[in-house]
Amino acid sequence: MKNRLPLSKKIKEALIHGGFLVNAVLVILVLLGIFVLLIWTSLPAFEQIPLKEFLFSSNWNPTSYVRESYGMLSMLVSSLLVTLGAMIFAVPISIGAAAFISDLASNRVREIAKPVVEILASIPSVVIGFIGITLIGPSIAKVFDLPDGLNAVNGSILLGIMAMPTIISLTEDALKSVPKSYTEASLALGATKWQTIIRVRIPAASSGIIAATMLGMGRAIGETMTVLMATGCAGAMPNSLFDSVKTMTSVIAIELGEVAYGTAHYYALFVVGLALFLITFAVNLAAEIIFNKKQKR
């Protein structure tokens, strides 16, 4: 029968389809693999160190001669402090910049502004960290009369700068997708353009903006090189934004290179990595849920 599909061709097409499928499954495997390997390498740590110590002790001193301790609390607080500081100034500026690009800028300005913001995203984190050491640190020291400017504020400023492109471009998308009818209705009621932006457009885009902020936050928590270079890396619990801090990422970056394979310290660093993974995962998932809710509405 002529019209029946030849087996060879059918097999070939199925093989190609299957090949691409396997390729796509790889993505799931990588994510799963990261999770599983982190757990697998973390587990031996819990044989020697109680989970309670990890979570509730603020003393991280794996190389102590007296008693090694593995409390993650102070580095966790440090990570959150630096990230929070970053968001406090990055979010308003980013929303403002995004609102300018989407609502005020002429087409020509917009077409220049967008790639310029992208350029900021392309600067390597180690270069930003270097700027923190050479430029922002000394400025902070001078302004606040400190011995050096390598502290949480410095890290916050740098992380804020790095989070801006993400927040700006996603906020701009969110503003763009606000229905035109909302804007027109507000303008028709005699509201000024400014009132419309503040009272109608930004609130209508709020879930998108929140999702953008969360994604920017996820980036900031996980950022390594900038905080490693610019926050001074003191291990104690920070008391203020002007204290030197050591974040979770810094701890891993500094210590994994020096630690002997298979020791409690080695496994403990993977516990830190696992915690970091779970935190960013949760933040990203939350962003996604908020974002999807918006789309359904």
Partner 1 sequence: MKIDINRIKEKIGFMILTACLLLVVLIIIVIFTNILINGYSVINIDFLIKSPTQGMTEGGIMPAIIGTFLVTIITAIFSIPLGMGCAIYLNEYAKQNWFTRLIRISIRNLAGVPSIVYGLFGVVLFVQLMNIGTSVLASGLTLSLMTLPMTITASEEALKNIPMSFREGALALGATKWQAISTNVIPYAIPGMLTGTILGLSRAAGETAPLLFTGVAFYLPYLPKGVFDQFMALPYHLYIMATQHHSIMEVRPIAYGTAMVLVALVFMMNLGAIILRYRLRKNRKE
Partner 2 sequence: MIKDPVIEVIDFNFYYGDKRALTDVNVKIEKNSVTGIIGPSGCGKSTFLRSINLMNNLILGARYEGKIMLDGENIIHKDVDVVELRRKVGMVFQKSNPFPKSIFENVAYGLRINGIKNKDLISRRIEESLKGAALWEEVKDRLNASAFDLSGGQQQRLCIARALAVEPDILLMDEPASALDPTATIKIEELIQELKKKYTIIIVTHNMQQAARVSDYTAFFMMGKLIEYNRTNLMFTNPEFKITEDYITGRFG
Tokens 């002529």 -> residue: 2
- Minimum distance from CB of 105 to partner 2 (Å)? 33
User: What angle do helix axes 152-176 and 206-222 make, rounded to 10 degrees?
Assistant: 150
Among 64-72, 129-137, 141-149, 180-188, which window interacts with partner 1 (CB under 8 A)?
A: 129-137
- Minimum distance from CB of 290 to partner 1 (Å)? 13
Q: How many other β-carbons are positioned within 10 Å of the β-carbon of residue 96? A: 12
Find the binding residues for partner 1 in span 82-101 (CB under 8 A): 92-97, 99-101
Residue 2's binding partner, choosing from partner 2, partner 1, none, with beta-carbon cut-off 5 to 8 A by kind? Answer: partner 2
**Cα–Cα distance for residue pair 126/123, rounded to 1 Å:** 8
Find the binding residues for partner 2 in span 4-33 (CB under 8 A): 4-6, 9
Residue 4's binding partner, choosing from partner 1, partner 2, none, with beta-carbon cut-off 5 to 8 A by kind? Answer: partner 2
Residues in Cβ contact with 44 at an 8 Å cutoff, skipping those fewer than 6 apart:
264, 267
Find the binding residues for partner 1 in span 261-290 (CB under 8 A): 261, 269-270, 273, 276-277, 280-281, 283-285, 288
What is the chain's Cα-based Rg?
24
Contact status, residue 196 vs residue 186, Cβ threshold 8 Å? yes
Among 3-11, 148-156, 228-236, 240-248, which window interacts with partner 2 (CB under 8 A)?
A: 3-11
**Exactly one of 1, 7, 27, 143 binds partner 1 (CB under 8 A); which one?**
27
Residue closer to partner 1 by CB (options 123, 185) is 123
Lookup: tokens for 283: 């933040």
Residue 125's binding partner, choosing from partner 1, partner 2, none, with beta-carbon cut-off 5 to 8 A by kind? Answer: partner 1
Contact status, residue 41 vs residue 283, Cβ threshold 8 Å? no
**Cα–Cα distance for residue pair 23/135, rounded to 1 Å:** 45
Q: Is 238 helix (H, G, I), strand (E, B) or coil?
A: coil
- Minimum distance from CB of 90 to partner 1 (Å)? 10
**Cα–Cα distance for residue pair 245/236, rounded to 1 Å:** 7
CA distance from start to end of the chain:
53
Residue 6's binding partner, choosing from partner 2, partner 1, none, with beta-carbon cut-off 5 to 8 A by kind? Answer: partner 2
- Minimum distance from CB of 21 to partner 2 (Å)? 17
Residue closer to partner 2 by CB (options 6, 147) is 6
Footprint of partner 2 (CB under 8 A): 1-6, 9
